[in-house]
Chains A and B, each alone.
Chain A
Amino acid sequence: MAMAALRREGRRFLLSSASSTPITARSAISNDRESCLFGARSISTQIVRNRMKSVRNIQKITKAMKMVAASKLRGVQTKTENSRGLWQPFVALLGDGFSVDVKKNVVITVSSDKGLCGGINSTSVKVSKALTRVYSGPEKETKYVVLGEKGKAQLVRDSKNRIELTISELQKNPLNYTQVAVLADDILKNVEFDALRIVFNKFHSVVSFPPTVSTILSPEIVEKESEAGGRLGDLDLYEIEGGETKSEVLQNLSEFQFSCVLFNAVLENGCSELGARMSAMDSSSKNAGEMLDRLTLTYNRTRQASITTELIEIISGASALEG
């Protein structure tokens, strides 16, 4: 372009189209990078203008991303709230299972595939790692099953040999129960466990997603615990209808519980991811706006300084001519 050619030749020319300000053409002369080469005192307004343009684009993009996340959130939130009743009967029956000590723990970390969603994946991974430490001990082992790319990226760094299974692209199609049931089946087939701990971010509101752990005990452990007394002690009082043996029913129960709880966990995490992305993009566009304000001030100051310099030159030149 013309300006680039002139800059290359190091010439100062009247460039009325260079700046958008409606001042006399002469003031536009020094407004490019060569003024820096000549030791000018001000930042070139061209650079500032470029920065402003890019920051403005970023602001638009982040605002658009926030809108997209907000609209998606509405849909997923209704689904999540409807699915919240699903795990309550199981917890009412079997209790929390949190403090049950078992030999083989499998920590299932639910995370997102896409980034730009704030700190939720890091909190999930931190909690999973802490859980591993809590449940560690002699003869005990903890393994990971990771859902989602972001969690996998973080866990692979230091626990690569403990990851049994990773699943990604879960959120590509809108979630339904069948898909999660198949997934649960896969996990149950491939992983040996005494207790499954699902770590996910529960969706409280658009600004709050506390990490939560749901536990599912394997049927053998349930039987053992119910005989030992404690929280599951009441289980013995229940009559078992259907199936040939109690252990068969407990097996079905544990598998069903797993698929239901996993369904709810994945939905809640999806909701939290969208909410976190909304607030992250919101603060990003706000920051971009503030940056834009500061840059505008700098730009105006630079522009006015160069005008003043021009005027001084002209006037001193004129007064020198007069004598």
Chain B
Amino acid sequence: MRATAADGARLRVTAGSRPASQAFSTEVTEAPAVDSSFLEAWKKAAPNIDPPKTPLAFMKPRPPTPSSIPSKLTLNFVLPYQSEISNKEVDMAIIPATTGQMGVLPGHVATIAELKPGVLSVHEGNEVTKYFVSSGFAFIHANSYADIVAVEAVSLDRIDPSLVQKGLADFTQKLNSAVTDLEKAEAQVGVEVHSALNAALTG
């Protein structure tokens, strides 16, 4: 199950690519080799029941890292309620990571970024689509695929500025009057989100 000598050779081939991809025949053998040990263990434990499926079976495999930098970034932006953008080819995406706004271009180094509340903008040719996202995660893979998973996202024109101001004032006041750690943390979160909203609307 762990990297045996035989697997070592295959692993070298697949080192730079997504584990889930099965695009080339050299990589096809890797995935079943890992699962077959599970299948054997399953057959011993429960011979009469079909083994359950796993999420990999339901997902389209991702292409491996190409040798040259591709011209477009393939973006996936998903929310719990819908996939906002799926497999769209864009030029650039600016994501609000906790360390600041991060611009993602094709060929970006593989990164796992935690997101803070802020504005996500997607640049495609001349058009820019902006969303305000609450927190989430962004994965940028070596093959110029970017996955952004957020909890909530709204387009900027749906935000009401007066409510933002009011919310900001409310939460700042709560932060000042907070007693317990939990209240402080909640008020802090509220202040952060509302100031980010404010910045999004003005900037």
Which residues of A approach B to under 8 Å, CB–CB?
Answer: 79, 82-93, 95-96, 98-99, 101, 126-127, 129-131, 133-134, 136, 177, 181, 199, 202, 210-215, 228-234, 237-243, 249, 252-253, 256, 260, 263
Which residues of B approach A to under 8 Å, CB–CB?
Answer: 1-3, 11, 15-16, 18-20, 34-35, 37-38, 41-42, 44-46, 49-50, 52-56, 58-59, 62, 76, 78-83, 86, 97-99, 102, 109-116, 136-137, 139, 141-142, 145, 147-149, 151
Could you tell me the distance between the alpha carbons of A96 and B81 in the complex, rounded to whole angstroms? 23
Q: How many A-B residue pairs have CB under 8 A?
A: 170
Could you tell me the distance between the alpha carbons of A202 and B98 in the complex, rounded to whole angstroms? 35
Could you tell me the distance between the alpha carbons of A95 and B44 in the complex, rounded to whole angstroms? 24
A241, B78: Cβ atoms under 8 Å? Answer: no
Nearest CB of B to A263, in Å: 6
The prevalent SS among residues of A at the interface is helix
B113, A92: Cβ atoms under 8 Å? Answer: no
With A82-B82, A238-B110 as contacts: A92 and B145 at CB distance below 8 Å: yes
B54, A212: Cβ atoms under 8 Å? Answer: yes
Query: In the complex, what residues of A have CB within 8 A of residue B137's CB?
Result: 89, 252-253, 256
A88, B76: Cβ atoms under 8 Å? Answer: yes
A88, B49: Cβ atoms under 8 Å? Answer: no
Nearest CB of A to B118, in Å: 12
B80, A177: Cβ atoms under 8 Å? Answer: yes
A242, B80: Cβ atoms under 8 Å? Answer: no
Q: Select from chain A the residue with minimum beta-carbon distance to B58.
A: A202
Could you tell me the distance between the alpha carbons of A234 and B65 in the complex, rounded to whole angstroms? 12
Could you tell me the distance between the alpha carbons of A199 and B86 in the complex, rounded to whole angstroms? 27
B56, A249: Cβ atoms under 8 Å? Answer: no
A243, B114: Cβ atoms under 8 Å? Answer: yes
Interchain Cβ contacts under 8 Å between A and B, 20 examples: A88-B76, A88-B147, A92-B18, A92-B62, A93-B112, A99-B38, A130-B42, A210-B53, A212-B54, A212-B58, A214-B54, A215-B54, A229-B2, A230-B2, A230-B3, A230-B34, A233-B15, A241-B111, A241-B114, A260-B80
Query: In the complex, what residues of A have CB within 8 A of residue B62's CB?
Result: 92
With A95-B56, A213-B54 as contacts: A242 and B97 at CB distance below 8 Å: yes
A86, B78: Cβ atoms under 8 Å? Answer: yes
Could you tell me the distance between the alpha carbons of A147 and B81 in the complex, rounded to whole angstroms? 22
Partner of A241, one of B35, B49, B102: B102
B45, A249: Cβ atoms under 8 Å? Answer: no
With A210-B52, A212-B54, A253-B137 as contacts: A260 and B114 at CB distance below 8 Å: no
Query: In the complex, what residues of B have CB within 8 A of residue A213's CB?
Result: 52-54
Query: In the complex, what residues of B have CB within 8 A of residue A93's CB?
Result: 112, 139, 141, 147
